Every structure is written in C-alpha cells, then in structure tokens.
C-alpha cells in the first residue's frame, strides 16, 4: 500500500503532470495529424509550468494552509504539558555528511522547534516519530541522535521507528502518551491534517507549527519578475497536503 501511495502521489504532483502534458503534446505533434490536440496539451503544460515557477494559485493556497494554525511562542502555563511530539519529515542515510545535514529541511526545522519547546518544560519527554521507509534509516533515529547533540538528555527521548505515515504516527503516539496532552510539532502545511488525525486517534494536542514555506513579502522586488525553482516545492507541498486530506476523509479517519 505504501509503494502504491507513493507512486500514485508522485504521478499526481504538478511537475509530473507538467512533464506528462508536454510529452503527450509532443507525441501528438510529431507522430499524429491531431496537431490541434498536441498544441492544446503543450499549452496546458506551459501554463501549469508557469503557475508553478511564478506561484500563481499555488503560493496563496499554501500560505492559506500554513497560516490556518499560528505558531507557539511559549508553552502555556498550567496546561499540563509533559510531552513534545515531533513528526519526522524525511532523512538521508549518507554517513559521510554531518548529522544535521542528514535530516531534510522539514525534519531539521521540526526538531529544532521541538527542542526549543522541550527546554521550556520541566520534566518533559521528547517523542520523535518516523519509521524506516524503503530500506533507509528512520527519521526518528536521526532526530534522536541530533537531539542528543543539541543537549537533550537521552533519557528524555522516546523514539517511534515503526510508523510510516501520519495516521500511524497518531495511533502510536496515543499508545505511548495515553490521555496526556502533547505539544505537536510538524511543518505548518502538514499541521491541519496532523491535528485532525491525532484528535481522531484520541490525542489531545496543542499544535506548534514550524517551517513556513510561503512567507510574506509586502515589498516588490525585481526578482519577483523572474521564475523561481522554489515554486516547484511549494506547488508539490500544497498538492501533497490536499491529496492527503482527501484520502483521509474518504477513508473516514479525518
């Protein structure tokens, strides 16, 4: 099922669809007499390409998703929080590079935020979650090792190396923390779906989003006139979350 989800999800990403439109359009133009169809497909591919590199539609949608839940500056007093749960967002198994570079940008930002919140609490536990996928080392182990380097007491760290998606993470966290409330740390775009899945699993959460990709810039810059590769990542992120939300709702887990 995991392989199927990854394959289908990858094919539905905007950049994959862009390449597919270009390819199909060129095939019609070069190898058939249906040139009008080919032109339509190539034009559609170009429009989708421009929408990504200039952020048309995708950037506002991502910003709306990310700003749905505000970040946590300080842990509320009297909330009874003793658990900080950090969801993994990808890691690499390359042992030749420094440990902090083995975490994806998402995972690194999430861990730093988790450690920041952990240090505001007395007697807190840091639960890092993210299992092994396709033979690589787990996110949880990489985050645990870096957390120790950042000064977290190893005895305060709990690892979940079994889960492979957000739904499974919610179920496992529920088993570990029971009825205790938790501070939930993940990327801002991932937070709305995560909160719904965790609450559905019976976990009381205070969301603490981090890694905001769509950042406001009120002042005009000449660079705004040029395409940006960052748009590909933003488009992929928002479509990934939309697909995750739709899939979860169809299955009744959200």
Mean pLDDT throughout 14-40?
97
**In the structure, what pLDDT confidence band is assigned to residue 168 with cuts at 50, 70 and 90?**
very high
Q: Examine residue 220 and state whether it is found in any structural domain, yes or no.
A: no
Q: Examine residue 222 and state whether it is found in any structural domain, yes or no.
A: no
Distance, in Å, from the CA atom of 254 to the CA atom of 139, rounded to the nearest integer, reads 24
> pLDDT tens across 82-108, in order?
999 999 999 998 989 999 999 999 999
Mean pLDDT throughout 106-114?
99
Element (H, E) at 160: strand 157-160
Q: Does 87 lie in the same domain as 58?
A: no
Q: How many domains does the chain have?
A: 2
Which residues constitute the domain of residue 24? 2-65+227-250
**In the structure, what pLDDT confidence band is assigned to residue 206 with cuts at 50, 70 and 90?**
very high
> pLDDT tens across 187-205, in order?
999 999 999 999 999 999 9
Half-sphere exposure of 78 (CA within 13 A, CB side): 0
State the pLDDT at residue 132: 82
Q: Does 88 lie in the same domain as 49?
A: no
For the chain, the average pLDDT equals 94
The structure tokens 């775009």 sit at 189
State the pLDDT at residue 178: 97
Q: Examine residue 80 and state whether it is found in any structural domain, yes or no.
A: yes
Mean pLDDT throughout 244-249?
94
Would the pLDDT of 219 be above 90?
A: no
Length of the chain: 254
Q: Does 197 lie in the same domain as 145?
A: yes
State the pLDDT at residue 51: 98
Helices (H) and strands (E) in the chain, counts: 9, 5
Helix (H/G/I), strand (E/B), else coil: 4: helix
Q: Does 35 lie in the same domain as 6?
A: yes
Q: Examine residue 196 and state whether it is found in any structural domain, yes or no.
A: yes
> pLDDT tens across 120-155, in order?
999 999 999 999 877 678 999 999 999 999 999 999
Distance, in Å, from the CA atom of 169 to the CA atom of 162, rounded to the nearest integer, reads 8
Q: Does 141 lie in the same domain as 34?
A: no
Cβ-based neighbour number of residue 201 at 10 Å:
18
Q: Does 98 lie in the same domain as 51?
A: no
State the pLDDT at residue 196: 98
Percent of the chain's residues with pLDDT above 70: 98
CA dihedral 173→179→185→190, nearest 10 degrees, is: 70
Q: Examine residue 114 and state whether it is found in any structural domain, yes or no.
A: yes
- Among 122-131, 170-179, 211-220, 236-245, the least confident range: 211-220
Q: Does 154 lie in the same domain as 77?
A: yes
Q: Does 54 lie in the same domain as 91?
A: no
Q: Does 114 lie in the same domain as 61?
A: no
Q: Does 51 lie in the same domain as 139?
A: no
CATH number at residue 90: 3.40.50.620
Q: Does 166 lie in the same domain as 78?
A: yes
Q: Examine residue 219 and state whether it is found in any structural domain, yes or no.
A: no
Q: Examine residue 221 and state whether it is found in any structural domain, yes or no.
A: no
Q: Examine residue 216 and state whether it is found in any structural domain, yes or no.
A: no
Q: Does 193 lie in the same domain as 94?
A: yes
Mean pLDDT throughout 158-186?
97
């Amino acid at each position: 099922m995991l392989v199927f989800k990854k394959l289908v999800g990858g094919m539905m990403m905007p950049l994959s669809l862009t390449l597919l439109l270009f390819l199909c359009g060129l095939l019609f133009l070069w190898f058939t007499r249906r040139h009008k169809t080919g032109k339509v497909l190539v034009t559609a591919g170009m429009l989708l390409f421009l929408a990504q590199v200039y952020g048309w539609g995708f950037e506002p949608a991502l910003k709306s998703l990310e700003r749905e839940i505000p970040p946590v500056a300080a842990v509320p007093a009297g909330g009874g929080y003793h658990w900080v749960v950090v969801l993994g967002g990808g890691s690499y198994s390359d042992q030749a590079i420094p440990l902090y570079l083995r975490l994806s940008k998402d995972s690194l930002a999430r861990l730093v935020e988790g450690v920041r919140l952990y240090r505001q609490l007395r007697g807190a536990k840091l639960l890092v979650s993210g299992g092994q996928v396709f033979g690589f080392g787990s996110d949880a182990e990489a985050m645990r090792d870096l957390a120790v380097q950042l000064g977290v007491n190893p005895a305060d760290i709990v690892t979940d190396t079994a889960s492979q998606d957000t739904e499974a993470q919610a179920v496992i966290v529920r088993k570990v923390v029971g009825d205790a409330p938790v501070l939930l740390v993940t990327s801002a775009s991932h937070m709305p779906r995560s909160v719904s899945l965790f609450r559905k699993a019976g976990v009381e959460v205070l969301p603490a989003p981090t890694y905001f990709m769509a950042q406001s810039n009120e002042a005009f810059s000449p660079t705004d006139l040029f395409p940006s590769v960052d748009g590909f990542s933003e488009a992929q992120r928002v479509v990934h979350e939309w697909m995750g939300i739709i899939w979860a709702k169809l299955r009744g887990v959200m």
